[in-house]
Amino acid sequence: MPKVSAAELFRRGFNFTPARVARAPGRLEVLGNHTDYNEGLVMSVAVDRYIEIAASPRTDGRIELVSSVFPQRERFAVTDIQRNPEAPWADYVKGVLLELRRKGVHFSGFSAAIDSSIPLGAGMSSSAALEVATALVVREMYPYALNEQGAADVPPARDRQGRLSGLGIKERLSLARLCQAAENRFVGVNCGLLDQISSLFGKAHHVLSIDCRFQTVAHAPLVGEAMVVCNTGVKHALVGGEYNALREHCESAARALQAKSLRSVEMSYLKANKDRLSPREYECAYHVVGEIQRVVYAERALREDDHRQFGQYLFQSHESSRDFLRNSCPELDLLVDLARRHGACLGSRLTGGGFGGATISLVAYHEVEAFMEHMASAYEQQTGRKLEPVVCQVVDGAG
Ligand code: GLA
């Protein structure tokens, strides 16, 4: 069946044309695995896979959602936003609505159709894109301006074509935090800010460097290589608890070292204080402290245009995730090994939460096709699983 747009999905689902459309991109974590919630450094890109939502306000105080991915409709009252175990995908929308309300944003009912071109469970952060797209489509229908205190008294203006003024940096950050809070509080995944910031701050042809302690974002150009995503086909479900467990090990390690977070811990200090940590805490801290250091070195390599060296940090990152954080799996390890064997690949690693999902490989543009063929045939030969590598374009963020 050919893919339809969110607007078309809306027309089919509700029999009229939607008033507003908003979309938010997925992201790839380029380097910095599980560093974000440790107040560390992380590099990422927003990519040309989106969650798009078409919506229209309603006057009966009800919200009705249809999705291109999940067959059942979800219906509820604005005044009664609850989890529905039959439709966990809608939790991301509901969580954002509750956080908006907590911030004092006024909105009423609406009908919405959600379309996704982000593969689920591939570590490309469809959840954050859904959160961000929800916040933006509500803003389109019920304009609000957000700051750290909450909704501002004056909503944003529309121009003559009815377009809202764009989001400023501070407002983007407030929105990213709001979406993160939705995921932490309502969905129950204690994720950091990486995914939401990437979706809102992405810049075409650039890598984002995010400092999660100071919550600042810088952009560095990355041209010449393609980002190839290889999805193991092994599902990762962050809600499964492994993610939260890793976070707890990291936080208890920081507490045992009397540090505000692992960002403040030097490798030499960590090694000297190994006996204050449980073996698992030490492993997780060892990964995070080393990984933050790798991001610093990688930023320098990128500034100096040394992409081979930059790629080396990607390989090293994977080894550290595999051996110390232990959030890899045999299929991810195989994909990285296969990538490493191809001369056009500068670097490769698991991307995102781990425990399945996808790898990201940095590949010289002119050899991308050959690389993808090599990956697909070798992976299928060794696992019996089909692999469809995709080249992702680096795009601007939402809003
Ligand atoms: C998931 C989380 C992010 C980040 C990565 C791992 O994508 O949502 O906050 O922790 O895993 O780096």
Q: How confident is the model at residue 162 (pLDDT cuts 50, 70, 90)?
A: confident
Q: How far is the CA of 84 from the centre of ligand 1 (A)?
A: 24
Protein residue whose Cα sits closest to atom 11 of ligand 1: 353
Q: Is the pLDDT of residue 237 over 60?
A: no
- What pLDDT is stored for residue 238 in this prediction? 55
25 lines ligand 1 (CB under 6 A): no
Give the dihedral sign, CA 221/38/246/256: positive
- What pLDDT is stored for residue 44 in this prediction? 98
Q: For residue 311, what is the enclosing H or E element?
A: helix 307-320
195 lines ligand 1 (CB under 6 A): yes
Q: How far apart are CA 179 and CA 398, in angstroms?
A: 13
N residues, the chain: 399
> Which positions ≥6 away from 197 have C-beta within 8 Å?
44, 173, 176, 208, 210, 217
- What pLDDT is stored for residue 3 in this prediction? 76
DSSP 259: -
- What pLDDT is stored for residue 234 in this prediction? 86
- What pLDDT is stored for residue 325 in this prediction? 98
- Distances in Å between the Cα of 148 and the Cα atoms of 97, 100, 284, 299, 311 are 17, 12, 32, 30, 37
233 lines ligand 1 (CB under 6 A): no
Q: Give the chain's radius of gyration (CA, Å).
A: 21
Protein residue whose Cα sits closest to atom 10 of ligand 1: 34
Predicted TM-score of the model (pTM): 0.95
Average pLDDT, the chain: 95
Q: Is the pLDDT of residue 197 over 90?
A: yes
- Distances in Å between the Cα of 45 and the Cα atoms of 120, 206, 216, 262, 280 are 18, 7, 15, 24, 30
Q: How far is the CA of 37 from the centre of ligand 1 (A)?
A: 8
Identity of the residue numbered 298:
A
33 lines ligand 1 (CB under 6 A): yes
pLDDT in tens, 198-223: 999 999 999 999 999 999 999 999 88
- What pLDDT is stored for residue 255 in this prediction? 98
Q: How confident is the model at residue 2 (pLDDT cuts 50, 70, 90)?
A: low
Q: Is the pLDDT of residue 224 over 90?
A: no
Lowest-confidence pick of 25-29, 117-121, 269-273, 308-312:
117-121
Mean pLDDT of 378-387: 95
The ligand 1 atom at the shortest distance from the C-alpha of residue 194 is 9
Q: Is the pLDDT of residue 75 over 70?
A: yes
Query: Beta strands 390-392 and 345-351: pairing type?
Result: unpaired
pLDDT in tens, 97-137: 999 999 999 999 999 999 999 988 778 999 999 999 999 99
Q: How far is the CA of 289 from the centre of ligand 1 (A)?
A: 16
Residue from 60, 195, 305, 333 carrying the catalytic annotation:
195
Q: How far apart are CA 308 and CA 298, in angstroms?
A: 10
Q: For residue 171, what is the enclosing H or E element?
A: helix 169-182
226 lines ligand 1 (CB under 6 A): no
Q: How far is the CA of 38 from the centre of ligand 1 (A)?
A: 11
Mean pLDDT of 78-93: 96
Q: Is the pLDDT of residue 174 over 80?
A: yes
- What pLDDT is stored for residue 4 in this prediction? 86
- What pLDDT is stored for residue 225 in this prediction? 92
29 lines ligand 1 (CB under 6 A): yes
The ligand 1 atom at the shortest distance from the C-alpha of residue 191 is 9
Q: How far is the CA of 131 from the centre of ligand 1 (A)?
A: 15
Q: How far is the CA of 157 from the centre of ligand 1 (A)?
A: 34
Q: Is 153 a catalytic residue?
A: no
355 lines ligand 1 (CB under 6 A): no
353 lines ligand 1 (CB under 6 A): yes
Q: How confident is the model at residue 240 (pLDDT cuts 50, 70, 90)?
A: low
- What pLDDT is stored for residue 99 in this prediction? 98
CB 139 within 8 A of CB 152: no
